[in-house]
Structure 1
Amino acid sequence: MSVNLQKGQKISLEKEAGGALSRITMGLGWDVVKSKGFFGFGGKSESIDLDASVLLFDEGNRPVDVVWFRQLKSRDGSIVHTGDNRTGAGDGDDEQINVDLTAVPAHVKTLVFTVNSFTGQNFSTVENAFCRIVNSGNNKEIARYDLSVQGSHTAQIMAKLYRHNGEWKMHAIGENGNGRTIDELMPQITPLL
């Protein structure tokens, strides 16, 4: 049974998974928005390019690496992005980031997951957007965060995974942000660490 995360909620990933976690997948999904034509007919689809990213921080909250559409793999190889989806077409996860928690270097204490609209549309035009954490070992969803909170923001600082007493915990941040890329989001992320 998956936990539906609420803004600010903290969970133990291992407790929710029912045991030690070694590999997880962060999935991001959304649907293309159809604009309404005259009297509801003749609408057309609008492409929306949402991007999933993860930033790696050390004990001093300094960024040490980033995985996003311009760098699909962490330098140490523990985190891999499956590739950029520029439309949201198709069912299920549109983008995925795979994390081997056992291989994340010991000096990395926090992973921050974000979503941003590279094409610049605000989230009020995005339908059925979600992110989720899946136990890659058994493909069971551990936690889900609904991103369809409609608003004028173009980014979401979704969640952070952090090491606490030898286990990984998750904090659902759920802060709205603005920016088309991870670089533009960085000043909004650092106060949340």
Structure 2
Amino acid sequence: MSVSLSKNQSVSLSKQSPNGLSSITLGVGWDVAKPKGFLGKVFGGGGGDIDLDASALLLDASKNEVDSIWFGQLNSHDGSVRHSGDNLTGEGDGDDESIAIDLNRLPRQVEYVVLTVTSFRGQTFDKVDNAYGRVVDNSTNRELARFPISDSGPHTGLVLACLSRAGGEWTFKAVGHRTNGQTVKHLVTDAVRVI
């Protein structure tokens, strides 16, 4: 059974997957917000496409950047992390973008994998509904944890969650820190500060 997390809560992924964890996927999904109220329905204000971008920032124990995976670089330099590709609309059910991580191949120096979401076109999160981040065990295709994103507002970026390693054990923490930026490169300073 999946664990539903609130902001700043964490869960041991190793305990959620007692037979061992070798490969996971970090998934992100969202919908376009529908117009609210009578005037919103009459004059619009919703609809259209929302181009959010999921990215992963790989950090060492000192929180120095080792690599970053995003729509501009779909694979880590060593090939252990792969991005599904850029979804420009947010349409459809399920994950809109995902990042697969081979935990056995991830370099030993990587202690943190920070999941971020940014709006490349500058659309704000008040135009987004039903957003979430989640972790799936690839060997069983079972969702281990989910973090519903209820933070609507005028921000264009979110440090969504952090995967951290300690002694071979992996923990997933829901961060939910609002920020601004159009790519993961704009969020590095905030990500390092809040994890």
With structure 2 as the length reference, what TM-score do the two structures score?
Answer: 0.92
Unmatched 5+ stretches in structure 2: none
Check conservation: 2:177, 2:194, Cα contact below 8 A. no
- How far apart, CA to CA, are the structure 2 residues paired with 1:180 and 1:17? 34
Contact 2:33–2:126 at 8 Å: present in 1 too? no
Deviation at 1:17, TM superposition (A): 2.3
Q: Give the alignment partner of residue 58 of structure 1, picking from 27, 38, 60.
A: 60
Deviations 1:76-103 (A, max 9, x none): 0000001000100111111110001111
- Whichever residue aligns with residue 26 of structure 1, its letter is L
Structure 1 length-normalised TM: 0.93
Q: How many residues align?
A: 193
8 A Cα contact 2:33 2:127, kept in partner: yes
The aligned runs of 1:94-113 (5 Å cut-off) are 94-113=96-115
Identity %: 47
Deviation at 1:120, TM superposition (A): 1.1
Q: Check conservation: 1:116, 1:155, Cα contact below 8 A.
A: yes
Root-mean-square deviation (CA, aligned residues, Å) is 1.8
Deviation at 1:39, TM superposition (A): 7.7
Partner of 1:134: 136
**Which residue of structure 1 aligns with residue 179 of structure 2?**
177
Cα displacement (A) at 1:41: 5.4
Which whole-Å CA distance do the structure 2 matches of 1:38 and 1:154 have between them?
A: 25
Q: What is the aligned partner in structure 2 of residue 80 from structure 1?
A: 82
In structure 2, C-alpha distance between the alignment counterparts of 1:15 and 1:5, rounded to whole Å: 15
Rounded to whole Å, the distance in 1 between the matches of 2:190 and 2:39 is 40
- Quote how far apart the aligned CAs of 1:35 are: 4.2
Whole-angstrom CA distance in 2 between matches of 1:159 and 1:177: 13
